[in-house]
């Protein structure tokens, strides 16, 4: 599974996503392919996709919907994204299960990141959309500070400490980069990453 890491602080959000996916070929063999798992939804928000590469198509479809509705505030986006992606994921799973049994390779989850203008004390938000209860239903919950998919508990612990002490985004980014490089050295990460941040100035993608 490709790696995703997100961190929220009072100053903004850091987003990192490995651009790799696994898919079955015609002989039912697993093959790796490069994909873009980090997608801006608006000038103030972004969506990260974990799991099956079909989730990226769902994310792009959501982006078109969001732009058509003119949604910007992440609190509005959260409700709309959960409803929209739940419908798309249920349709995807029902179609897959007509051909193949349910397999973890078909699982999809999403992380929504963005800024709200309704809460000056906590403007930056992260939400995890996943199959918490049962397939193919998506549920959502807020992420308090740091989160990773698949879970990297040691890295999350380090990032949570930085977030709680209100470290700068630069320090948080350095910690994420260090964690990513350690995973790469261990062979856990094999593909390039997409990097972005969300600050009071909005969404910005960058290279490291």
What's residue 93's pLDDT? Answer: 76
Q: Residue 115 and residue 136: Cα distance in Å, rounded?
A: 28
pLDDT of the residue at 119: 95
What pLDDT is stored for residue 135 in this prediction?
62
Question: How far apart, in Å, do the first and last CA atoms of the chain sit?
Answer: 22
How far apart CA 73 and CA 190 sit, in angstroms, is 34
Instruction: Identify each DSSP E strand in 37-96 by its residue range.
Output: 38-42, 45-51
- 3-class state of residue 59 by DSSP: helix
Q: Please, which residues bridge with residue 110 across strands?
A: 49, 129
Q: Is the dihedral of CA 105, 88, 151, 196 positive or negative?
A: positive
Nearest to 169 by CA among 129, 124, 127: 124
Q: What is the dihedral of CA 110, 42, 87, 49, to 10 degrees?
A: -20
In this prediction the pTM is 0.91
| Averages of pLDDT over each 10 residues, the chain, 208 residues | 93 95 64 85 96 89 95 96 91 67 68 96 96 76 96 97 95 97 93 95 96
Cβ atoms of 42 and 77 within 8 Å: the answer is yes
**pLDDT at position 28, please?**
61
Residue of 18, 67, 21, 17 whose CA lies nearest to 45: 67
Name residues whose C-beta falls within 8 Å of residue 118's C-beta, 6 or more positions apart in sequence: 73, 75
The token pair at 146 is 């740091």
Per-domain residue ranges for the chain? Answer: 4-203
pLDDT reported for residue 29: 64
The CATH superfamily holding the domain 4-203 is Aminohydrolase, N-terminal nucleophile (Ntn) domain (3.60.20.10)
Q: What share of the chain is helix, strand, coil (3-state, %, to 5)?
A: 35, 35, 30
Q: Which two tokens stand for residue 186?
A: 């261990």
3-state secondary structure (DSSP) of residue 119: coil
């Amino acid at each position: 599974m490709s790696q995703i890491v997100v961190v929220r602080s009072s100053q903004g959000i850091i987003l990192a996503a490995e651009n790799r996916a696994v898919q079955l070929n015609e002989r039912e063999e697993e093959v790796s392919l490069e994909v873009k798992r980090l997608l801006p939804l608006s000038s103030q928000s972004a969506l990260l996709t974990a799991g099956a590469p079909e989730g990226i198509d769902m994310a792009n479809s959501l982006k078109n919907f969001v732009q058509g509705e003119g949604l910007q505030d992440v609190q509005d986006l959260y409700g709309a994204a959960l409803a929209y992606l739940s419908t798309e994921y249920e349709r995807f799973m029902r179609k897959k299960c007509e051909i193949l049994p349910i397999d973890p390779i078909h699982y999809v989850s999403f992380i929504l990141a963005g800024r709200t203008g309704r809460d000056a004390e906590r403007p930056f938000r992260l939400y995890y959309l996943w199959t918490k209860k049962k397939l193919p239903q998506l549920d959502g919950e807020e992420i308090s500070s740091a989160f990773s998919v698949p879970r990297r508990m040691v890295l999350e612990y380090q990032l949570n400490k930085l977030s709680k002490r209100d470290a700068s985004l630069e320090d948080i980014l350095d910690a994420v980069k260090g964690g990513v490089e350690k995973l790469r050295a261990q062979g856990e990460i094999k593909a390039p990453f997409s990097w972005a941040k969300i600050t009071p100035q909005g969404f910005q993608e960058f290279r490291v």
